[in-house]
């Protein structure tokens, strides 16, 4: 599920953290090597994202928490849901149909809500998590260069030999 539903949820988390054009700098697996939840992603600004059991995306802050998942939105305290959305540091939008959004973007010659770069970054978060779970290793990541820092073995995981006759 990490690279299936995970891509949808990590997309929202990356957006909410203002990291659509970046990603985590460290990925820390849980202590239990058999665990399938509890992986932590650490961002350069110190924020931690935890792969957990919320069934969506749960943002926890000093003033409360906000939960969102495909058509669901809850805030605690409820007053957080009434905040002036225009004052938020990230662009807020409601996306009900990515297909329609894509067609509108093509017609307007603009970027869709989730363009290819954002989608690739969200997928990378999923793959980084899987690599940390599978190898039960703490990984340091450079989101700008998209390489593991000081880890030649892990960097070998980034490329796979192409099948003949395919090449890049």
Q: Which residues contact 84 (CB under 8 A, 6 or more apart)?
A: none
Higher per-residue confidence, 137 vs 114:
137
Q: Which has the closest alpha carbon to 93: 20, 22, 43, 44? A: 20
Residue 106 in this model has a pLDDT that exceeds 90 = yes
Q: Is residue 19 part of a domain?
A: yes
pLDDT band at 5 (very low <50, low <70, confident <90, very high): confident
Range of the domain at 137: 5-149
Q: Is residue 163 part of a domain?
A: no
pLDDT bucket at 155, cuts 50 / 70 / 90: very high
DSSP readout, 94-131?
Answer: --S-HHHHHHHHHHHTS--SS-HHHHHHHHHHHHHHHH
For the chain, how many structural domains are there in total? Answer: 1
pLDDT 10s digits, 63-96: 899 898 877 888 999 888 877 666 766 666 666 7
**pLDDT band with cut points at 50, 70 and 90 for residue 160:** confident
Is 69 contained in some domain?
yes
pLDDT at 23 over 80: yes
Q: Would you call 52 helix, strand, or coil by DSSP?
A: coil
How many whole angstroms separate alpha carbon 133 and alpha carbon 33? 7
Q: In whole numbers, what is the pLDDT of the chain averaged over residues?
A: 89
């Amino acid at each position: 599920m990490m690279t299936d539903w995970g891509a949808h949820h990590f997309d929202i988390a990356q957006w909410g953290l203002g990291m659509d054009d970046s990603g985590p700098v460290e990925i820390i697996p849980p202590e239990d090597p058999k665990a399938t939840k509890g992986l932590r992603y650490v961002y350069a600004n110190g924020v931690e994202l935890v792969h957990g059991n919320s069934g969506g995306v749960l943002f926890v802050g000093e003033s409360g928490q906000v939960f969102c998942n495909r058509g669901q939105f809850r805030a605690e305290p409820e007053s957080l849901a009434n905040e002036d959305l225009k004052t938020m540091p990230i662009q807020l939008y409601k996306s009900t149909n990515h297909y329609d959004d894509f067609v509108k973007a093509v017609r307007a010659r603009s970027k869709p809500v989730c363009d290819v770069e954002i989608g690739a970054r969200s997928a990378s978060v999923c793959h980084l998590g899987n690599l940390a779970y599978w190898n039960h290793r703490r990984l340091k990541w450079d989101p700008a260069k998209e390489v593991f820092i000081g880890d030649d073995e892990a960097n070998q995981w980034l490329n796979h030999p192409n099948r003949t006759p395919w090449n890049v």
